[in-house]
């Protein structure tokens, strides 16, 4: 396929562009994932809390695509940090899979302090073959240190909120310096960044759409990215980003848009269980 792979610190290769399914309803999930697979996406990012793992599994099964050609990520919810094996087995049952490609601790959970225990369980689940790669999401520098110090196992990825108006450069450098790849969630800022004048101007100049310009920025920064849409034409548009390039100046112009503009919860305080 035209989608490049990124090599993780465990040697496995993940397709750099995937399809995210946060807030995709029970009615929409099978058609949306089926459309994405038809278009050529081979990487799906879901989570137990999204409540749509069964639909993801159904679309995968109906597609007939060989399992080894797909990359499936799911995530451990906040109330299961002390119960990760059972939680993953439940997710696998819903997905209809023997193993996921990537299992993530979804949030560190402020005040709960079970993220090290959860990470120790993920290390075991990888050894047991239920999760081929393991990583974290929404981890700060301190959380990364906690799990690495406890186990000497470095997460393959840190999946964090990143988009042109939230570039979190310090945490990204800290992660990548340790061999942890960045996965950008809400890569379009849940659509807020699509209207940024720098982005719309660049899109006009390049003859592309604002979404394509932003996704291209993520790819050229080396981030793994999985935009969400349930609109077939946008699912196609978001995949069609491998026949143009942003220049070094374009990239710097987008880098300069940081405004610490979070559209999701702050990991330092988020404690929903
Ligand atoms: P996103 O930045 O991908 O934005 C999605 C929204 O942008 C869509 O609902 C649609 O309104 C709009 N959009 C998409 N493509 C478009 C296009 N081509 N033109 C115009 N508008 C378009 O936001 P997201 O869904 O929050 O993030 C993507 C994925 O990241 C999620 O589906 C999920 O897999 C993951 N995620 C993870 C976490 C986490 O805590 N780990 C949190 C949020 C999201």
- In this prediction, residue 94 has a pLDDT band, given cuts at 50, 70 and 90, of very high
61-78 pLDDT, tens digit per residue, is 999 999 999 999 999 999
CA-nearest residue, atom 3 of ligand 1: 227
CB count within 10 Å of CB 181 equals 21
Q: Which of 22, 41, 50, 223 is catalytic?
A: 50
Q: What are phi and psi of 231, to 5 degrees?
A: -90, 115
Dist. CA 54 → ligand 1 center (Å): 20
Task: Please state the atom number of ligand 1 nearest to the C-alpha of residue 24.
Answer: 32
Dist. CA 184 → ligand 1 center (Å): 10
Residue 166, classified by CB atoms within 10 Å of its CB into exposed (0-12), middle (13-18) or buried (19+), is buried
CA dist., res. 8 & res. 12, Å (int): 5
Across 10-35, b (16+ Cβ under 10 Å) vs e yields: eeeebbbbbbbbbebeeeebbebbbb
Q: pTM to 2 decimals?
A: 0.98
Task: Please state the atom number of ligand 1 nearest to the C-alpha of residue 46.
Answer: 34
Q: Can you give 142-186 as a three-state secondary structure string?
A: HHHHHHHHHHCCCCCEEEEECECCECCHHHHHHHHHCCCEEEEEC
Residue 206, classified by CB atoms within 10 Å of its CB into exposed (0-12), middle (13-18) or buried (19+), is middle
Determine if ligand 1 sits within 6 Å of the CB of residue 174.
no
Dist. CA 188 → ligand 1 center (Å): 6
Task: Please state the atom number of ligand 1 nearest to the C-alpha of residue 107.
Answer: 40
Do residues 148 and 138 touch, judged by C-beta distance below 8 A?
no
Pocket test of ligand 1: the residue of 17, 21, 22 to mutate, having most ligand atoms within 8 Å of its CB, is 22
Q: What is the CATH number of domain 5-255?
A: 3.20.20.100
Q: Is 22 tagged catalytic?
A: no
24-49 pLDDT, tens digit per residue, is 999 999 999 999 999 999 999 999 99
Dist. CA 170 → ligand 1 center (Å): 23
Average pLDDT score over residue span 212-232: 98
Query: Residue 150 pLDDT > 90, yes or no?
Result: yes
Determine if ligand 1 sits within 6 Å of the CB of residue 234.
yes
Q: Quote the mean pLDDT of the chain.
A: 98
CA-nearest residue, atom 26 of ligand 1: 186
Report H helices in 70-109: 84-95
ipTM of the complex: 0.99
The percent of residues above 70 in pLDDT, for the chain, comes to: 100
Nearest CA to 161 out of 133, 188, 181, 180 is that of: 188
Determine if ligand 1 sits within 6 Å of the CB of residue 238.
yes
Strand 181-185 with 224-225, pairing: parallel
- In this prediction, residue 1 has a pLDDT band, given cuts at 50, 70 and 90, of low
What's the confidence (pLDDT) of residue 34? 99
> Is 106 labelled as part of a ligand binding site?
yes
157-193 pLDDT, tens digit per residue, is 999 999 999 999 999 999 999 999 999 999 999 999 9
* Domain residue extents for the chain: 5-255
């Amino acid at each position: 396929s035209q989608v490049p792979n990124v090599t993780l610190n465990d040697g496995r290769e993940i397709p750099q562009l995937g399809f995210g399914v946060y807030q995709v309803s029970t009615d929409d999930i099978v058609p949306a994932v089926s459309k994405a697979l038809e278009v050529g996406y081979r990487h799906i990012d879901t989570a137990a809390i999204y409540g749509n793992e069964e639909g993801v599994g159904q679309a995968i099964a109906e597609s007939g695509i060989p399992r080894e050609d797909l990359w499936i990520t799911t995530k451990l919810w906040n109330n299961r940090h002390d119960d990760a094996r059972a939680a993953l087995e439940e997710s696998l049952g819903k997905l209809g899979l023997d193993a996921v490609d990537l299992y993530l601790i979804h949030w560190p959970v402020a005040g709960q302090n079970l993220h090290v225990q959860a990470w120790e369980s993920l290390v075991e689940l990888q050894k047991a073959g239920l999760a081929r790669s393991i990583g974290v999401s929404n981890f700060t520098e301190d959380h990364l240190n906690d799990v690495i110090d406890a186990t000497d196992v470095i997460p393959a990825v840190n999946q964090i909120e990143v988009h042109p108006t939230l570039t979190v450069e310090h945490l990204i450098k800290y992660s990548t310096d340790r061999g942890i790849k960045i996965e950008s969630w809400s890569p379009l800022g849940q659509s807020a960044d699509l209207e940024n004048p720098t982005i719309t101007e660049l899109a006009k100049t390049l003859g592309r759409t604002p979404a394509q310009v932003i996704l291209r920025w993520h790819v050229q920064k080396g981030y793994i990215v999985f935009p969400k849409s349930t609109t077939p034409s946008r699912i196609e548009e978001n995949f069609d980003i491998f026949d143009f390039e942003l220049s070094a100046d374009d990239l710097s112009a987008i880098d300069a848009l940081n405004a610490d503009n979070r559209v999701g919860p702050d990991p330092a305080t988020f404690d929903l269980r």
